[in-house]
A and B are shown apart, each in its own frame.
Chain A
């Protein structure tokens, strides 16, 4: 069974069983579920996400503390894997059937199949514990450096391994997507026309083919940007990264439902926004979409 947060507090010896009933009444946990839900909606409409049972802080504060860490980590790795992906995907489609193509495709598929926490553990063991090149846990040194730039440097230093891990497992997706779209584009008539005009292969690739092939990849990135705030639970767990993904897991284990509700609400909102932005972006990048709108009515 889900378990009730108050019994969790008793188990943690924070609460005496005698006070438990009082706490239940205070948080409205004694009410039937639908009344609790109405209470939640009422609080939500006045901008109050609730109070965390475990962290004993307002939910919004708990999430906001971790959000920047997650956004930095996910943002950096998404951007890197996007650029690696379009680069490798373009080469591989352009050299279809050659050894380069086979290597890139096989490599992308292999990295797609790697369990992310395992590759993180290997990095941690080899580069962290064995060679001592990188910090083994956390988002920043304890105590954090005082100076502003030293602090940023320290943060980036801590972020290197998790970001590298995430980039490695996600670039394969973009590579294959880019390759598939580019292969499709390269068979189009306007590419034949461009070649027939005597344009150099480079111009055909970059000016004619790449531009059109980028569309689906850009949309895919825009959508995946929406999931940035959900973090990467597994990577964050391996590297003890203080982010939202880890928070969701911890909150579930602690039966801290207000935090979970808050986190899922935040994620849903950002995914919806990202999807909307992706739609707008698509219309902006591809003029044909607007035409279709006019004609179809």
Chain B
């Protein structure tokens, strides 16, 4: 926790003042955290994103209490007729008989409750998003730090590997890996994680190259600090703002990619996800049947969750990126 706050206060002060201290007192942590949050909460998009994200996290955690059915339970099959529209359609069109409508969001091709599936789908998206982004941020940061700090042959080798991965288009590569490894949630997370670190590694590396040349690094080395100490205490705090911004965008991308792979039928059949719902909707011709209640909600949820992370990332970027600050 303390480590986290320390990172945050470094990030608040990057940009307008370069304050580098070996020890920062506890009170100052809190002061700077307040400073950061007051800046963050003035950003409307950032606040909207944060609220949206909180709603989805709550829905994902409380899914069994919100959803009338567990979509993985056989009992949920055939709760009503296949492709029944939601009940509130009757407010607009009174001619539809009562036994033809069901639930908040209607039913799918097997007569299952769509609302329950949408609620449980939040779990898959968030888990995949967080874990896949964690892997790619971790790998990207480590490789970026090593490559930028050590330089030379190590840098050359690592950057050529990064280049190769950057050249291969993302989604096709992930399709191939996901198809070879087989559809499981863990494989999906791994595939997304290990294919999306190169851009982060590049960004981190270029920042490390800038920071490495600064005077305080020279000073630290002059008083006899080791490489590990310099990397973790001096360089990492100075590249961490970039990590935060990219983490938010990375989670957003990971969620979008998971949805895409599931839409192609490469998702884990044991866990219903929004992308997979759209895959089944497409397969069972929900489009021809104009079953908008089947097509609309899962996609809208993906859009909202992804945009919540994108908004947060954008807000962090506006606050942390000195180039975007108003100078006039």
Contact = CB atoms under 8 A, between A and B. Distances in A.
Interface of A: 1-2, 96, 102, 105-106, 109-110, 112-119, 121-122, 124-125, 128-130, 180, 183-184, 187, 227, 230, 233-234, 237-238, 245, 248-249, 252-253, 260, 263-264, 267-268, 271-272, 275
B172 A264 contact: yes
B278 A117 contact: yes
B13 interface: no
B127 interface: no
Categorize the interface residue count of chain B: 35 or more
Contacts of B179: 252-253
B328 A125 contact: no
A233 B278 contact: no
B293 to A, nearest CB: 11
Interface hub of B45, B263, B292, B323 (most chain A Cβ within 10 A): B263
Nearest to A124: B287
A230 B287 contact: no
Contact of A109 (B169, B176, B296, B307): B307
Contacts of A128: 287
B264 A233 contact: yes
B311 A121 contact: no
Given A113-B252, A118-B299, A237-B264, A252 B176 contact: yes
Contacts of B150: none
Nearest first, the 3 closest Cβ-Cβ pairs linking A and B are A118-B299, A113-B307, A113-B306
Interface string B166-189: 011101100110011000000000
Interface string B255-294: 0100110011000000000010010011000011010100
Nearest to A183: B324
27 contacts: A1-B180, A2-B180, A105-B314, A109-B307, A109-B311, A113-B306, A113-B307, A113-B310, A114-B303, A115-B259, A117-B260, A118-B299, A118-B302, A121-B281, A121-B299, A124-B287, A128-B287, A184-B323, A230-B169, A233-B260, A234-B260, A237-B264, A252-B179, A267-B167, A268-B167, A268-B168, A271-B167
A234 B323 contact: no
B279 to A, nearest CB: 9
Given A105-B45, A122-B296, A115 B287 contact: no
Contacts of B180: 1-2
Interface of B: 44-45, 167-169, 171-172, 175-176, 179-180, 252, 256, 259-260, 263-264, 275, 278, 281-282, 287-288, 290, 292, 295-296, 298-299, 302-303, 306-307, 310-311, 314, 323-324, 326-328
Given A129-B288, A234-B264, A264 B302 contact: no
Interface hub of A114, A115, A180 (most chain B Cβ within 10 A): A115
Contacts, number: 115
B295 A125 contact: yes
Contacts of A2: 180
B126 to A, nearest CB: 15
Contacts of A114: 299, 303, 306
A115 B169 contact: no
Contacts of B45: 105-106, 109
A233 B172 contact: yes
A122 B299 CA distance: 9
Given A230-B172, A252-B179, A113 B278 contact: no
B258 to A, nearest CB: 10
A238 B314 CA distance: 30
Contacts of B307: 109-110, 112-113
A233 B302 contact: no
A177 to B, nearest CB: 12
Given A122-B296, A248-B175, A272 B264 contact: no
A260 B176 contact: yes
Contacts of B311: 109
B298 to A, nearest CB: 8
Nearest to A109: B310
Contacts of B292: 125
A128 to B, nearest CB: 8
Contact of A121 (B256, B260, B295): B295
Contacts of A271: 167, 169
A287 to B, nearest CB: 22
A194 B209 CA distance: 34
Given A109-B45, A112-B310, A234 B299 contact: no
Given A113-B310, A234-B263, A271-B169, 8 more contacts: A96-B326, A105-B314, A110-B303, A113-B307, A118-B298, A128-B287, A183-B323, A233-B264
Contact of A125 (B263, B264, B287, B327): B287
Nearest to B172: A248
Contacts of B299: 114-115, 118-119, 121-122
A264 B168 contact: yes
Nearest to B263: A117
B175 A113 contact: no
B58 to A, nearest CB: 20
A252 B175 contact: yes
Contacts of B167: 267-268, 271-272, 275
B264 A238 contact: no
Contacts of B310: 109, 112-113
A115 B311 CA distance: 16
A271 B172 CA distance: 14
B287 A267 contact: no
A172 to B, nearest CB: 9
A190 to B, nearest CB: 14
